[in-house]
């Protein structure tokens, strides 16, 4: 029997929705303010996962310009019925304070690779929507209900309403089928039918260290729902920080052989309870009791190693970590902030063999940043690029960035200073407080410059070298005479665990260009090399 290594999707991959269609398995995860919307993966063995094209790839489906940090796409749900794939998602416009503006939509496609339809608006009464297809051919929308009123439980229960697929609209009464358990913060509903019961799986306890997955069941779709007496079915052991933490938000799948698995989010703290990689996706084996309750095999705590199903092993099909930008399209792991890839700010053809970024807004903008990045999936990694960029003044910058959100990032950037001329320096934003840790930026010779970031858990060190320095054919960075710039930086603030307000994404590393004068000066990046170490 094979073993599944958790997390199966490392780095920022929260809120998994898992689906089987025949012998194919799919997982959809949240992307929040990162474009394109919804990360989608395929597997044949539940262990090796290949990224698919994102279903929300155009602004008509997902317009996130101005969306807040940790807004955008929350908790997608993937389902299949009547010969089509269906994807439900929320676009969150506000989340701080009493109100949450949460708009729920549905897109569909005949093939998982698309093309996906234009969105059908559903409702805005709460977030974490899902679509349940019953045995009689009917379909039902579920979502949590947000109650903003003073003195009320904001997580007011799980709404259920029939959805007419042919007419593409909700119909009939709204039923509040489950108000949750004493854990509270009841969200992320998914419905399943087995042995005459409807099983309602929800997330409770909040998405931090008290996160959990609970189960309730009923003989009738609209309830009442009986709570599993051993709830929570899945949670984490807070006293074992070397274990997977924040486990919850589960989604179930059955193999053709009758084996059951639960995909759920989790996190791995790096230091002081901070999870720099964000919330990740893991998989647990499930069993059913004689009286038809679901259990996680081995107990309620998640495991790093899980027995795999009796399926044919699939070799990994990952995209290369070294991108020379010679392809006519971007690799699927690349994402941008809030706006689609288009020639107003990004080009792979204007200078062949380069990624051209036209200078956009600042790192704190929620509108039009020119930033292209990929998830940080390892805590032991080197990342390198070569940059052609000749700024004319201090408002023009470009370089290599580790980015969490508009308040937290660390940036090795080329700019121009009145006395030094073209120069290299570091910008840090920690909880929204701007800093430049170097006393004086480093003057640069004319020509290209190589930039490198070396991460060892929470410690980051930046390096630079002349652009004509060449790595050896095996891509070993030691072949270049790298010069350190600045002291090692503690970047553990790039994490979900903000001291003031919980956040939901994860650390990205990538390339960006700013032109705060509005001239749109371009920066050309010749390559991007992501070199992971031995540990994730």
The set of catalytic residues is 15, 187
CA distance 212 to 231: 9
CA–centroid distance for 52 within its chain: 14
Classify 339 as helix, strand or coil. coil
What's the chain's length in residues? Answer: 536
Alpha-carbon dihedral sign for residues 396, 397, 398, 403: negative
Check if the beta carbon of residue 190 is closer than 8 Å to that of residue 211: no
CA distance 19 to 527: 36
Q: Give the angle subtended at the CA of 144 by the CAs of 143 and 146, to the nearest 5°.
A: 130
Neighbours of 447 (CB within 10 A): 11
Cα 398 from chain centre: 25
H helix or E strand, kind and range, residue 531 = strand 522-532
Those residues with Cβ within 8 angstroms of residue 130's Cβ, 6 or more apart along the chain or in another chain:
17, 77, 79, 88, 141, 142, 143, 188, 189, 190, 191
Neighbours of 299 (CB within 10 A): 10
Helix (H) or strand (E) holding 93: strand 84-94
Instruction: Count CA within 13 A, CB hemisphere, residue 150.
Output: 0
Residue where the block lists tokens 């009758």: 258
Residue 195 to residue 201: CA distance in whole angstroms: 16
Question: Do 501 and 29 meet the contact criterion of CB atoms below 8 Å apart?
Answer: no
Class of residue 393 by CB neighbours under 10 A (exposed 0-12, middle 13-18, buried 19+): middle
Angle at alpha carbon of residue 177, lines to 176 and 183, rounded to 5°: 100
Two tokens at 240? 């074992």
CB 34 within 8 A of CB 28: no
Beta bridge partners of residue 287, listed in sequence order: 295
Specify burial of residue 466 (Cβ count, 10 A radius: 0-12, 13-18, 19+): middle
Distance between CA atoms of residues 207 and 187, nearest Å:
10
d(CA 433, CA 206): 27
CB 438 within 8 A of CB 428: no
User: Quick check: 286 and 252 in contact, CB under 8 A?
Assistant: yes
Residue whose token pair is 């509903």 = 189
Q: Is 344 left (phi over 0), alpha (psi -120 to 50) or beta?
A: alpha
Number of H helices, E strands in the chain: 0, 40
């Amino acid at each position: 029997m094979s073993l599944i290594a958790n997390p199966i999707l490392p780095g920022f991959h929260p809120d998994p929705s898992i689906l089987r269609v025949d012998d194919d398995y799919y997982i959809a995860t949240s992307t929040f303010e990162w474009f394109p919307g919804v990360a989608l993966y395929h597997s044949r063995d539940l262990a090796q996962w290949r990224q698919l094209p994102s279903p929300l790839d155009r602004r008509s489906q997902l317009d996130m310009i101005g969306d807040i940090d940790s807004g955008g796409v929350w908790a997608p749900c993937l389902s299949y019925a009547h010969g089509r794939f269906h994807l439900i998602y929320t676009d969150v416009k506000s989340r701080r304070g009493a109100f949450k503006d949460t708009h729920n939509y549905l897109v569909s496609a005949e093939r998982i690779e698309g093309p996906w339809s234009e969105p059908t608006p559903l409702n805005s009464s709460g977030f974490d929507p899902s679509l349940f297809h019953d045995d009689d051919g009917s379909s039902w929308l579920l979502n949590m209900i947000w109650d903003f009123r003073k003195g009320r439980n904001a997580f007011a229960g799980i709404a259920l309403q029939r959805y007419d697929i042919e007419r593409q609209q909700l119909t009939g009464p709204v039923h509040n089928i489950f108000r949750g358990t004493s854990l509270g913060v009841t969200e992320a509903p998914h419905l399943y039918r087995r042995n005459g019961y409807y099983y309602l799986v929800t997330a409770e306890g909040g998405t931090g260290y008290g996160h959990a997955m609970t189960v309730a069941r009923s003989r009738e779709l609209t309830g009442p729902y009986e709570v599993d007496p051993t709830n929570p079915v899945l949670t984490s052991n807070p006293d074992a920080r070397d274990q997977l933490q924040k486990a919850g938000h589960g989604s179930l799948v059955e193999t053709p052989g009758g084996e059951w698995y639960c995909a759920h989010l989790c996190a791995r703290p790096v230091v002081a309870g901070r999870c720099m990689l964000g919330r990740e996706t893991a998989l647990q084996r499930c069993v059913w009791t004689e009286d038809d309750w679901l259990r996680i095999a081995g107990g309620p705590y998640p495991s790093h190693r899980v027995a795999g199903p009796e399926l044919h092993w699939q070799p990994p099909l990952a995209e290369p970590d070294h991108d020379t930008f010679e392809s006519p399209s971007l690799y699927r792991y690349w994402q941008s902030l809030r706006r689609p890839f288009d020639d107003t700010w990004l080009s792979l053809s204007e200078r062949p063999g380069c990624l051209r970024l036209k200078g956009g807004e600042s790192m704190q903008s929620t509108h039009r940043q020119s930033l292209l990045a990929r998830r940080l999936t390892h805590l032991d990694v080197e990342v390198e690029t070569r940059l052609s960029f000749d700024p004319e003044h201090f408002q023009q910058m470009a370089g290599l960035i580790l980015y969490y959100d508009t308040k937290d990032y660390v940036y090795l950037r080329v700019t121009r200073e009145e006395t030094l001329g073209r120069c290299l320096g570091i910008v840090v934003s920690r909880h929204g407080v701007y800093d430049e840790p170097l006393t004086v930026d480093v003057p640069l010779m004319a020509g290209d410059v190589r930039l490198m970031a070396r991460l060892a858990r929470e410690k980051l060190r930046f390096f630079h070298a002349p652009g004509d320095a060449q790595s050896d054919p095996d891509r070993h960075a030691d072949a270049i005479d790298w010069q350190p710039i600045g002291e090692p930086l503690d970047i553990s603030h790039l994490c979900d665990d903000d001291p003031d307000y919980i956040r939901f994404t994860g650390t990205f590393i990538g390339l960006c260009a700013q032109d705060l004068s509005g001239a749109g000066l371009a920066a050309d990046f010749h390559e991007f090399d992501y070199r992971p170490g031995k540990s994730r």
